Amino acid sequence: MEPVRVQKAAFDPGQELNAFSATVPGAGAVVSFSGITRDLAEGALDVMEIEHYPGMTEKALSAIHDEAMTRFSLTGAMILHRYGRLAAGDPIMMVATAARHRAAAFAAAEFLMDYLKSRAPFWKKEVTPEGARWVAARAEDEEALTRW
């Protein structure tokens, strides 16, 4: 299984987690996080469009993956991120980490999420009946990096 995947196609987080777990024998802990397309308050999201920078995306995610492997002495890690058009409720992305013990697996999953939030070249656009708007980056996401 490729540890870093960027794809247009939908995926099943449960299936991905099982496949990942099968590749990390000896790990005592597996942690996963799935990001799901959130609807707007009024149920008004027609579609979420995710744009990315082919080439740089894979390069950035691979660097983040390798950094996590080393820093947390992981048995394995995977990152999967979609682009294209998504509907509310669709899984957008997931990360999974495997380690000897749970503390490293939890921390590594948070590390991966914090980094890919503001260091992987993806941009989200919400399309509603009233029009479309680019999702603004949040200062908290940038600040979250300072803890690592």
Query: Applying CB under 8 A, which residues contact other proteins?
Result: 35, 51, 53, 55-56, 59-60, 81, 92-93, 113, 116-125, 134-137, 141-142
Choice between 38 and 101, CB closer to other proteins: 38
CB 68, min distance to other proteins, A: 15
Q: How far apart are the C-alpha atoms of 25 and 84, rounded to whole Å? A: 34
Choice between 64 and 74, CB closer to other proteins: 64
The alpha carbon dihedral of 56, 59, 65, 70 has a sign of negative
CB 144, min distance to other proteins, A: 11
Choice between 16 and 75, CB closer to other proteins: 16
Choice between 100 and 124, CB closer to other proteins: 124
- Neighbouring C-alpha atoms within 13 Å toward the C-beta of 82: 21
Choice between 27 and 81, CB closer to other proteins: 81
CB 3, min distance to other proteins, A: 17
Q: How far apart are the C-alpha atoms of 81 and 34, rounded to whole Å? A: 10
CB 26, min distance to other proteins, A: 29
The alpha carbon dihedral of 53, 123, 113, 81 has a sign of negative
Q: How far apart are the C-alpha atoms of 21 and 25, rounded to whole Å? A: 8
- Total Cβ atoms within 10 A of residue 147: 8
CB 56, min distance to other proteins, A: 4
Q: How far apart are the C-alpha atoms of 64 and 122, rounded to whole Å? A: 14
